Amino acid sequence: MPIKPILYELDYFPDAVSVYESVRNEPYSSFLDSGTDAGKLGRFSFIGFDPFMVVESRGEDIKVLTQDGTEVLRGNPFVFLKSLLSHYKTEPLGGDIPFMSGCIGYFSYDLRYFIEELPSVSGDDICTPDMLLSFYDIVVIFDNLLEKVYISSSGLPYLDEAKNKNRAEKRLEFAKKRISREGFAGAEQGFSVSDSDITSNFTKEDYERAIKTAKKYIREGDIYQVNLSQRLSCGFDGDAFELYKTLRRINPAPFAAYLNFEDFRIISASPERFIKINGRHIETRPIKGTRPRGINEAEDARLRQELIASEKDRAEHLMIVDLERNDMGRVCKYGSVMPEEFIIPETYSTVHHLVSTVIGSLKEDVDVVDCLCNCFPGGSITGAPKIRAMEIIEEIEPVKRGIYTGSIGYIDMNGNADLSVVIRTIVVKDGTAYF
């Protein structure tokens, strides 16, 4: 029987960044930060801390951390996640709040090996987990549109009614004290980066050779497009959350995130939604086509119009919309997949983008893990056709992408989810920033 979370509304509207300051140093604390567009994409932000369970996978090795200790298993991480989500169920309370109890974390690009038969030849030099999910029974919820803040407490992992109710009430009181007004202040520690010593995982010659190889595959008809990436890195010292706040000021994003793990941090300012599931409704929001902002209004308007009129950018965007429609067609009812918005311009602090929204109605026997297995990774960061593009990426790029171009977000215990595409993201680990 699904358990019913407690929902408590604060009588004031604190700043989400300030609230996260009070828990940011706790291992496995998470901040899903909608830093812009409260009226549409950025209505809700979420903070999770003190998880009752953490699930981490590397290949087929799955590690489960709870208060009772650590359990190590072997298997497909998607199959394990599906089983876990079916075990813990919460009852929807109604209303607009989409996430009250569940997991926050990431799925790395390299989980694609569990979805398709793909080669694996590139090295993994950062060595972060393939999947890392923190399961929270208490979540702080910010409704940025209505300027309301809630704390939810589900009482998980207890499923017994009496034990669950007792834990939910105690944990709610714990959370209220933990994020009290007095807990917001924190001394800024600052950070420094060795930007004069930025290095790439390609030499210039190797990168140019990679581009020529990709063009050769296109000319030969193997693919229509492939999205190649190079990884840059530099020395980093100091407070990673201060770096996040700096990025947030420069480039606020609707799918921004800061994830604090034991030995690394993720700092993301993604503007792109991978998939959102609300009930039986699913949507994806691919971005393809970009121009910089202009130095004045006239130039800004010219660049925006140039993007809208670009035959190349529109053709590239259409390819990805078709790819996403095909992926969603595997999990959606026949005839329900369609573009809700098609090739519309959106303006952010530093760029103009072309964006589409593709929606569908899920089949009755499909859940969020089925959607991941059929749609992951997002086609906007692979190319088309997707499988051949991923084979070429593995051939050409010298190291594994890891978290980059994977997905960050939440999965609720009643089946809702909102996951980004991991772009414009920094991983800080062992004194190095990778981006």
- Residue 272 known to be catalytic: yes
Of 21, 56, 272, 316, which is the active-site residue? Answer: 272
129's CB contacts (< 8 A; 6+ apart) are 56, 57, 58, 108
Paired tokens of 149: 């803040």
Of 56, 276, 283, 288, which is the active-site residue? Answer: 288
For residue 376, list its beta bridge partners: none
- Residue 173 known to be catalytic: no
Cα separation values, 288 from 134, 199, 241, Å: 31, 27, 29
Q: Which residues are catalytic?
A: 272, 288
